[in-house]
Chains A and B, each alone.
Chain A
Amino acid sequence: MQISRDILTRSYRAMRTIRDFEERLHVEFATGEIPGFVHLYCGEEASGVGVCAHLSDTDTIASTHRGHGHCIAKGVAVDGMMAEIYGRQTGVCRGKGGSMHIADLSLGMLGANGIVGGGPPLICGAALSHKLLKDNGVAVAFYGDGASNEGSTLESLNLATVWQLPAVFVVEDNGYGEATGASYACAGTQKDRAAGFGMPYFECDGTDFFAVYETAGEAIAHARSGKGPAMLHVHLSRWYGHFEGDAMTYRAEGEVARERAEHDCLVNFRKHVTEISLLEASALDDIDAAVKSEIDAAVAAAKVAPLPEEADLMRDVYVSY
């Protein structure tokens, strides 16, 4: 599959931004300055970016607890996200949502979600909007192997097929629903589940951007063509715990280190594009430097940004009279 230099550059930048954003959050969270729960996407960057590379602002996604990567891949501004995670008034949700609820509906980002299995039903509705408003949009639900067992997800696979919706169900399978292995918790296979609903199934290695990009392209093209929904099963590795502070005592020693050493999507990307001269190493270095500055600036700005005010507590419950 031919990929333009522009897409390659933007995709690398998005992956690098997610990686640096998250690695920085890992460090900053340990200082105790960040309130609440933080769930890191590190190691899974190629999935969100490879899928969202096929989407525009008129397409919709719904995300998960582990939503920072999807937000960045969909174009949400990093400074607003960082301020949100720090609970500041300048945050993208004005400090009302926090890490698990970052959303920007103007970009078709329907929100990270604090409820496992919360997104797939919403995406059925977004897909229905695209279908009835005839805007050629597709709606994508990202959800984990854990959420794949929720009734809401299985109902959504059924509804999307019954209504022939332009929806793509992306199972980001990192092998763990919190601390419980998918090998234990997921009966049967995702492939058979898709088949059970009469839905085309696609599968790829989520640590390989090019594999994700190509396979996601096929799944999204299917949905966009009006032939109904598709499932994309992405195999991934989660580099940090379920949440920050999780010591991952349920994982074998060396498992994560091995994944990092052998299946780093950024390293793989760099190797691939430089070997066949799609992009130059210097261009990638420039992106790395620019992203580093951007993250530094976002953290610095978030730390000094104003906190929400007392009046914000009651604002936006609903429109009052």
Chain B
Amino acid sequence: MSRKSFRQAINEALRQEMRRDPRVILMGEDVAGGRGGTSGVKDAWGGVLGVTKGLLTEFGEDRVLDTPITEASYIGAAAGAAATGLRPVAELMFVDFIGCCLDQIMNQAAKFRYMFGGKARTPLVIRAMYGAGFNAAAQHSQALYPLFTHIPGLKVVVPSSPYEAKGLLIEAIRDDDPVIFLENKVMYDDEEDVPDEPYTIPFGEANLTREGDDVTIVAFGRMVNLANQAADRLEKDGISCTVIDPRTTSPLDTGTILDCVADTGRLVIVDESSPRCNLATDVAALVAEEAFDALKAPIRRVVPPHTPVPFATVLENLYMPSVEKIEAAVRSVAAYRVKEEA
């Protein structure tokens, strides 16, 4: 066990899985970083934010493949390689670039197992960065996990901490289905204690980061951290919260969510993605349909406005869910009282 950043945890997961299984390969733009450059420095970058740095040096050019900036061909190549015996981990860089290659994910990789009658395996991992808070503006800041969650056949992972990232990524690489693994770029320098040895965290099993009696908070990815900070503040005022980190949006651990709502009777959902047809609406619909009788207050969603992500810090801060907004939402549902019937 040692202290590792989110970036180091992901790098370590990749390194350990590449050592364990020679079929695991990496591909993406600049994942080797420096191919064709004039400095002669190998492994100069390790991806645009340095997550794969050092892996070219250890595993060589056959297993750490720089690609041209052509997402359709290399994401498709990753799908084709996965269907024919390799276990590629492809880096899409910013998830916003999905527009260039969605067909290969949505119509090819996601559908092989079902469409071919269960006779195809596609052990593909696509890593991509998501999230606002970096002043990266509208084309580099989206939280598109609902888009992938919407597509049957994809598994979608949104890790909330370095520990979670390592265990979930190793699980993703060993999984025989296409997995979209989304890393919040604001979290890369977050640190916590992470085991040095490989370990896995199963998909479809939510993590309760705290348990309380009054309000259930379901939060995704980086929002888990904000939800816990809000819960700390609320605890001082005697409002105790359960915070659920679903870890994967597909499969989704609906059982844990329903059980917790049954206990607390109140639900706040925190989702960084744009609000229409997102995870918050999905979870709200689930609870409205399956646990209506348990609800003591309306469900509240803490989500951004339905706009592209703005650039200016002041606007981006307004756009994002925050500890304060979560806290306010929890207070409002905690204070809610059903009106007496006349």
User: Which residues of B pack against A, CB within 8 Å?
Assistant: 25, 62-63, 65, 67-68, 70, 72-86, 88, 103-104, 107-108, 111-120, 152-155, 175-178, 202-205, 251
Return chain B residues, CB-CB under 8 Å to A62. Answer: 80
Selected contact of A128 from candidates B75, B81, B155, CB within 8 Å = B81
Decide if B108 touches A101 in the complex (CB within 8 Å): no
Which chain B residues lie closer than 8 Å to A319 at the CB level? 113, 175-177
A125 adjacent to B80 (CB under 8 Å):
yes
List the A residue with the shortest CB-CB distance to B204.
A321
| A316→B153 CA distance, assembly (Å) | 8
Pick 24 A–B contacts, CB within 8 A, sort by A: A92-B117, A103-B112, A103-B116, A103-B120, A111-B115, A113-B108, A118-B104, A121-B75, A121-B77, A121-B80, A121-B104, A122-B108, A124-B80, A129-B81, A132-B63, A152-B76, A155-B70, A155-B72, A159-B68, A162-B68, A163-B65, A318-B113, A321-B202, A321-B251
* Chain A interface residues (CB < 8 Å from chain B): 60, 62, 91-97, 101, 103-106, 108, 110-111, 113-115, 117-118, 120-130, 132-133, 139, 151-152, 155-156, 158-159, 162-163, 315-321
Q: Do the beta carbons of A156 and B73 come within 8 Å of each other?
A: yes
Candidates B86, B119, B154; contact of A105 at CB < 8 Å:
B119
C-alpha gap A162/B81 in the complex (Å): 16
* Nearest opposing residue in chain A for B75, CB measure: A121
Alpha-carbon gap, A103 to B117, bound state (A): 9
Given A316-B113, A317-B114; A125-B72 close (CB under 8 Å) = no
Q: How far is the CA of A319 from the CA of B204 in the complex (A)?
A: 11
A95 to B117, CA, bound (A): 7
* A contact residues around B84 at 8 Å (CB): 60, 105, 108, 110, 125-126, 129-130, 139
Does A155 contact B73, Cβ atoms closer than 8 Å?
Answer: yes
Q: How far is the CB of B63 from chain A (nearest CB, A)?
A: 8
Contact, CB under 8 Å: A152 / B72:
yes
Are A159 and B80 closer than 8 Å at their CB atoms?
no
Q: How far is the CA of A20 from the CA of B155 in the complex (A)?
A: 42
B104 nearest CB neighbor, chain A only: A121
In the bound assembly, the distance between CA atoms of A318 and B103 in angstroms comes to 18
- Give the docked Cα–Cα distance between A111 and B119 (Å): 11
A111–B116 contact, CB under 8 A?
Answer: yes
Which residues of A have CB within 8 Å of B88? Answer: 125
Q: In the complex, are the beta carbons of B76 and A121 less than 8 A apart?
A: yes
Known: A95-B117, A122-B77, A158-B70. 20 other contacts (CB 8 A): A93-B115, A97-B115, A103-B112, A103-B119, A115-B103, A118-B104, A121-B79, A123-B80, A124-B74, A125-B82, A125-B86, A127-B80, A128-B86, A133-B86, A152-B72, A155-B68, A318-B155, A319-B177, A321-B202, A321-B203
Flag if A159 contacts B115 (CB, 8 Å): no
| Chain B residue at smallest Cβ distance from A321 | B204
Q: Which residues of the partner chain B approach A118 to less than 8 Å between Cβ atoms?
A: 76, 103-104, 107-108
Q: Once the chains are docked, how many angstroms separate the CA of A120 from the CA of B77?
A: 8
Which residues on the A side are within 8 Å of B120 (C-beta)?
103, 105
Q: A133-B85, A155-B73, A163-B65 are in contact. Are A318 and B202 (CB under 8 A)?
A: no
Check B77–A320 contact: CB distance below 8 A: no
Q: Is A114 in contact with B107, judged by CB distance below 8 angstroms?
A: yes
Report how far A103 CA is from B84 CA in the complex, Å.
13
Nearest 10 A/B pairs, CB to CB: A121-B76, A125-B80, A94-B117, A122-B80, A155-B73, A125-B81, A316-B118, A93-B117, A125-B77, A124-B77
Chain B contacts of A316 at CB under 8 A?
113-114, 117-118
Q: Could you tell me if B117 and A121 are in contact, using CB atoms closer than 8 angstroms?
A: no
Q: Which residues of B contact A96 (CB under 8 A)?
A: 114-118
Contact (A97, B113) CB under 8 Å given A121-B79, A122-B79, A155-B73: no
Interface centre among B80, B82, B111 (most CB of A within 10 A): B80
Tell me the minimal C-beta distance from A62 to chain B in angstroms. Answer: 7
B105 to chain A, nearest CB (A): 11
Q: Which of A91, A106, A117, A122 has the most CB of B within 10 A?
A: A122
Residues in chain A near residue B25, CB distance under 8 A = 132
Of B68, B104, B115, which one neighbours A152 at CB under 8 angstroms?
B104
Complex Cα–Cα for A96 and B62 (A): 36
Report which residue of A91, A96, A104 has the largest number of chain B beta carbons within 10 angstroms of its beta carbon: A96
Q: Which of A60, A128, A133, A163 has the most CB of B within 10 A?
A: A128
From the candidates B86, B115, B118, B251, name the one contacting A101 in the complex (CB within 8 A): B115
Of the listed residues B62, B76, B176, the one surrounded by the most CB atoms of chain A closer than 10 A to its CB is: B76
Residues of A within 8 A of B82 (CB): 125
Chain A residues near B77 (CB-CB < 8 A): 121-122, 124-125, 128, 156, 159
Q: Which residue of A lies closest to B106 (CB)?
A: A115
A92 CA / B72 CA spacing, docked (Å): 28
Instruction: State in angstroms the CA–CA spacing of A151 and B100 once bound together.
Output: 10
- Chain B residues whose CB sits within 8 angstroms of the CB of A103 once the complex forms: 112, 115-116, 119-120
Q: Does A101 contact B80, Cβ atoms closer than 8 Å?
A: no
Most buried by A among B63, B72, B73, B118: B73
Chain A min CB distance to B167 (Å): 15
Given contacts A114-B107, A152-B103, A158-B73, contact A105 B116 (CB under 8 A): yes
CB distance from A58 to the nearest CB of B (A): 10
A228 CB to nearest B CB, Å: 15
